[in-house]
Amino acid sequence: MTMKTCKHCNVEFELNSSAKRAAGGKINECADCVEELGTETAVKYTGLQQEGTGSFTISRHASTAERDAYMKQLKNGVDLSK
């Protein structure tokens, strides 16, 4: 268990919690502050292995919502390579 204190709200939080992993942000920011202040700046990526070709495609997304929509389309069988 790795506890940290948020630099914005001074609340102690679990660094390895699922909420913190999903929110991202800096190591000293709680998930609530990351979401509220919009401090996550990491570019979201997805990786996809092409069946039978041995190749691997990496896609860059502007936001988590865009990445999630892309992944949902992939799971629904939409061909995004066109």
Every domain of the chain and the residues it spans: 3-37, 44-75
Residue 10 scores a pLDDT above 80: yes
List the beta bridge partners of residue 4.
13
Predicted pLDDT of residue 33: 95
- Please, which pLDDT band fits residue 15 given cuts at 50, 70 and 90? very high
Greater model confidence, 81 or 7: 7
Digit-coded pLDDT (tens) for 33-75: 999 998 887 777 888 887 788 888 888 888 778 888 888 888 8
Measured CA to CA, the distance from residue 7 to residue 53 in angstroms comes to 47
Q: Note whether 34 and 22 are within 8 A (CB).
A: no
Q: Which of 73, 76, 56, 57 is nearest to 65 (CA)?
A: 73
Q: Note whether 13 and 31 are within 8 A (CB).
A: yes
Q: 23: helix, coil or strand?
A: helix
Residue bearing tokens 């892309």: 70
